[in-house]
Amino acid sequence: MPLDARSLGAALNETLTLHSALCRREAGAFVQALQTGEELVVACTQEKRLFVELAEQSGGAQRAASGYAPIRFVNIRETGGWSKDAAHASPKIAALLALAHLPEAQPVATVAYQSAGRLLIIGELGVAEYAAELLGDELDITLFTQGAGDTLGHGGAMQERRYPVLGGKMVSLTGWLGAFELKWLRNNPIDLDLCTRCNACLAVCPEDAIGMDYQIDMNLCKSHRACVKMCQVAGAIDFNREPETSAETFDLVLDLRATPAFSQHALPQGYLRWDGRDARPLMQLRALVGEFEKPRFFDYKQKLCAHSRNEKTGCHACIDVCSASAIGSDSHSQRIKVNPNLCIGCGTCTTVCPSGALTYAYPRAPEQGVKLKTLLATYARCGGKNAALLLHSQEGGARLLGDLGRAAQLDRASRGGAYQGTHGGNYEGTLGGNYQGTLGVPARVLPVGLWHTSSIGLEVWLAAVAYGASQVWVLMTDEEAPQYHEALRSQMAVAQAILTGLGYQGQHFRLLHAKDARDLAALDRDLQAVPAQCVSRSAGFAVQSDKRVTLELALDHLTAHAPVKPEVIALPAAGSPLGALVINKDTCTLCLSCVSACPANALQDNPQSLQLKFIEKNCVQCGLCVKTCPEQALALLPRLSLSTLRKEAVVMNEMKPYACVRCGKPFGTLKAIEAMLGKLSTHSMFQGAAQERLKMCADCRVIDIYSAQNETRITDL
């Protein structure tokens, strides 16, 4: 891997010293650099732990207390240099180093959890007690029996009762770490709190209706009641006991059942499943005692939300895509509600939100924009061409790219030995093989680690293209929920349609998927895709906190430098946050109910005349106006108009007012009054003079009623 300290330093505007063994014989240089108090960037993550220990031994606490900049690490080995394309990797390495110099994300509000170690184990009693024994005395354990069972040979309860046991029919289990609530129906004749496990009831039951979980199977019981007689001393069995609903709270839940209590992809924190073999869930439980906190990953602005108006539901994209069941609809406030305790911070809800009511808070969109802009600008300044951004997760995605880089290095060194990846196993065959021909991460591919791969979407992708990126690829693993894949595909389809319509050649957006290291060879071929056409001039705008503002800035720049500029670009209906409205003027009565329903101020009225105006730039395609319109006169039209009228209020419909037949004052629209007269013309209450009053304004209607001599009044009665 060629490293030119002079050229890299010039790109970063600093003096760089090249070290080839900083973690070994040159460690003294690292310790010496610590004493300066300046910002340190170590361009290798292999020995990160060693460098941290050296910093601590060399006064790391005093360094932090003095306000010195932290030590940062960046991997330029597997992602930058270990590649057959290494000779051209200097621009990418400079870009990755520039990225490492950026400040950390600004702190945000946090969500707190408190766990005292109260653990509920749900499952067959024998296995539940076995799991409790493995956990030891570190947790306060309660068992909820689901039969005696014989899973893994642990059938039935132990003779000695070491843990409280609950039994009955489970009604619900809700909550999260430190706040799980179990509700169940105590409907079994045997009270497990009173039962001493003397086994006398099991011995006398003629139907074997009592299991080793000391609960009676009522389908087998024939009401001999011999068990009641044998249990007179303890009094644990009572067939006359009324079913009772009970509830109890727990901090942690270990579920041993085949069918879990929670069906969503992202399980609540503090809820773990165990198959009786892998010990990792048990080890995780031991660590979940104490006080914890996590960032509050989202911000919500209700006034921008397009979910509901006037008891009509419009956009529900965030509810549908959430893999943690953290988002729901609040019928009272007609808005969404997000449970921060269940939120896992994937940010997919903010990606699919068309209005920007939900925004990602950690890191914020402007901070992500600075990263992408710095990365692409440095790459271009150092002579890099056709940059492709590869967005990946900080965990699974980073491991896969590390495997890809290592495979390229070993292939270059050995040309034939089977490669043993970090996931274990020798990968042989067409998918993995000995990795002959693997190029590693190409020099034009710039990897960007995200907290979650679906946390940024359409507007940031287009901004990256405006900054000079040739392509934007998203690498997904089995970490992501299935609905995330579909959400990103629909967003990419919209983004690609925009660039294709503007004349930018090639495929700019792609969703890559790899399960494990064996897919890296196929992934490697994807990374060699032909570059797409870049924008002729890089943009200078900054990504904004407002999603719609960022989208408009990106569209303006891409349009200004587009090879072609059509009047209109058709967009896919699924996931499009851009579009227009089609109105049927023959059925529209200009009631203006759509204006009050629009959350984005795209539909407006005119106080001076009967007009319905529309600003296409503001429309988020939520559909609230379509569902609100009583005449079904509106329809959505996903598109991007490049006309200057897109940002102006355009009159969609207008009509003459209806004048009162008595005083001549306008009081409604001509079409609305005519429609009302048509619907009520056959009604018995609106005949003759009553029908004529429908043509009058409110004042004249009252005058006519009181001046009529042939009508009965309530005062006469």
Does the residue 503 lie in any domain? yes
Question: Residues 373-378: what's their mean pLDDT?
Answer: 96
- Domain membership of residue 85 (yes or no) is no
pLDDT at 176: 97
Percent of the chain exceeding pLDDT 70 equals 91
Residue 49 CB burial class (10 angstroms; 0-12, 13-18, ≥19): exposed
Please indicate, yes or no, if residue 184 is contained in any of the structural domains.
yes
C-alpha separations of 405 from 37, 41, 280, 511 in Å: 33, 21, 29, 20
Does residue 144 sit in the same domain as residue 199? Answer: yes
Residue 80 has pLDDT above 80, yes or no: no
Give tens-digit pLDDT for 467-523: 999 999 999 988 899 999 999 999 999 999 999 999 999 999 999 988 876 676 666
Are 325 and 445 within one domain?
no
Q: In this model, does residue 655 exceed pLDDT 90?
A: no
Helix axes 547-560, 458-466, angle to 10 degrees: 40
Q: Is the pLDDT of residue 62 over 80?
A: no
Sorting pLDDT into bands at 50, 70 and 90, what band is 565? very high
- Return the higher-pLDDT residue of 552 and 78: 552
Give the end of a domain, one of 562, 592, 615: 562
Mean pLDDT of the chain: 87
Please tell me the predicted confidence (pLDDT) of residue 686: 83
| Structural domain includes residue 499 | yes
Least confident of 35-44, 147-156, 621-630: 147-156
Q: What mean pLDDT comes out for the span 329-343? A: 90
Check if the beta carbon of residue 406 is closer than 8 Å to that of residue 421.
yes
pLDDT at position 417: 45
In a domain, 90, yes or no: no
Q: Specify the range with the lowest mean pLDDT, choosing from 23-32, 321-330, 459-468.
A: 23-32
pLDDT at 378 over 60: yes
| φ, ψ (nearest 5 deg) of residue 625 | -65, -40
Residues 380/469, Cβ–Cβ less than 8 Å: no
Q: What is the pLDDT of residue 320?
A: 96
Mean pLDDT of 246-266: 94
For the cut 50, the answer to whether the pLDDT of residue 431 exceeds it is: no
User: Which residues have CB under 8 Å from 702's CB, separation 6+?
Assistant: none
| Helix (H) / strand (E) containing 284 | helix 280-287
Mean pLDDT of 628-644: 95
Whether residue 239 sits in one domain with residue 207: yes
Q: Are residues 247 and 336 in the same domain?
A: no
Does residue 252 contact residue 288 with C-beta atoms inside 8 Å? yes
251 and 386 share a domain?
no
Q: Are residues 136 and 14 in the same domain?
A: no
pLDDT band at 570 (very low <50, low <70, confident <90, very high): very high
2 or 235, which is more confident: 235
The predicted-structure confidence for 212-242, as pLDDT tens digits, reads as follows 888 988 989 988 889 998 998 889 999 988 8
Does one domain contain both 118 and 185?
A: yes
Which of 345, 360, 375 terminates a domain? The answer is 360
Span 658-694, pLDDT tens digits: 888 889 888 888 778 888 888 888 887 788 778 888 8
Using one digit for the tens of pLDDT, what is the confidence trace for 181-200? 999 999 999 898 889 889 89
Q: Do 377 and 517 share a structural domain?
A: yes
Statement to judge: residues 42 and 135 lie in one domain: no
Q: Report the pLDDT value the prediction gives residue 429, as an integer from 0 to 100.
A: 31
Q: Is residue 81 included in any domain, yes or no?
A: no
Euclidean distance between the first and final Cα of the chain, in Å? 103
Domain boundary among 529, 562, 595: 562
Whether the per-residue pLDDT at 560 is higher than 50: the answer is: yes
Render pLDDT for 403-420 as a digit per residue (tens, 0 to 9). 888 877 776 555 544 444
Which pLDDT belongs to residue 435? 43
In a domain, 618, yes or no: yes
Which pair of tokens denotes residue 638? 């996903």
With cut-offs at 50, 70 and 90, classify the pLDDT of residue 68: low
Domain match, 600 and 511 both = no
Look at residues 694, 695, 609 and name the one whose alpha carbon lies nearest to residue 656.
609
pLDDT of 273 reads 94
Same domain, 396 and 541: yes
Same domain as 355, residue 268: no
Q: What is the CATH number of the domain that holds 317?
A: 3.30.70.20
Is 107 domain-assigned?
no
State the pLDDT confidence band at 710, using cuts at 50, 70 and 90.
low
For residues 388 and 229, give the distance between their C-alpha atoms in angstroms, rounded to a whole number.
79
User: Is the pLDDT assigned to residue 617 strictly greater than 90?
Assistant: yes
- Domain around 29: 5-73
Residue 2 pLDDT: 62
* Interval 45-57 mean pLDDT: 86
What is the predicted pLDDT for the residue at 81?
A: 67
Number of domains forming the structure of the chain: 6
Tokens 């271009």 identify what position?
Answer: 380
